[in-house]
């Protein structure tokens, strides 16, 4: 009986891993500041000007912020 549960857990883990990999492949790539349109650049500048942005809108700082993800995680 324990083997059946262990096998079931293994199959479920493999299925979850495959679903996670598929979802990661569907994500948008991170835009670099030079690839953004006017609205996107305006939003980036507003984020960088905010209390957590540090006020520096240089390409290096923008790239670092964009790599942090939606919650700077």
Q: What is the pLDDT of residue 10?
A: 66
Q: Give the total residue count for the chain.
A: 73
Determine the Cα–Cα distance for residues 26 and 5; give it in Å rounded to an integer.
32
Residues of the chain with pLDDT under 50: none
Determine the Cα–Cα distance for residues 24 and 32; give it in Å rounded to an integer.
19
Q: What is the pLDDT of residue 4?
A: 74
Q: What is the pLDDT of residue 19?
A: 58
Q: What is the pLDDT of residue 60?
A: 79
Whether the Cβ atoms of residue 53 and residue 65 lie closer than 8 Å to each other: yes
What's the token pair of residue 15? 């299925």
């Amino acid at each position: 009986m324990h083997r059946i549960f262990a096998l079931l857990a293994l199959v479920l883990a493999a299925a979850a891993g495959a679903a996670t990999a598929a979802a990661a492949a569907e994500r948008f790539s991170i835009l670099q500041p030079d690839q953004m349109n006017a609205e996107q650049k305006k939003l980036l500048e507003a984020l960088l000007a905010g209390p957590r942005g540090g006020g520096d809108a240089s390409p290096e700082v923008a790239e670092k912020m964009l790599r942090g993800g939606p919650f700077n995680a």
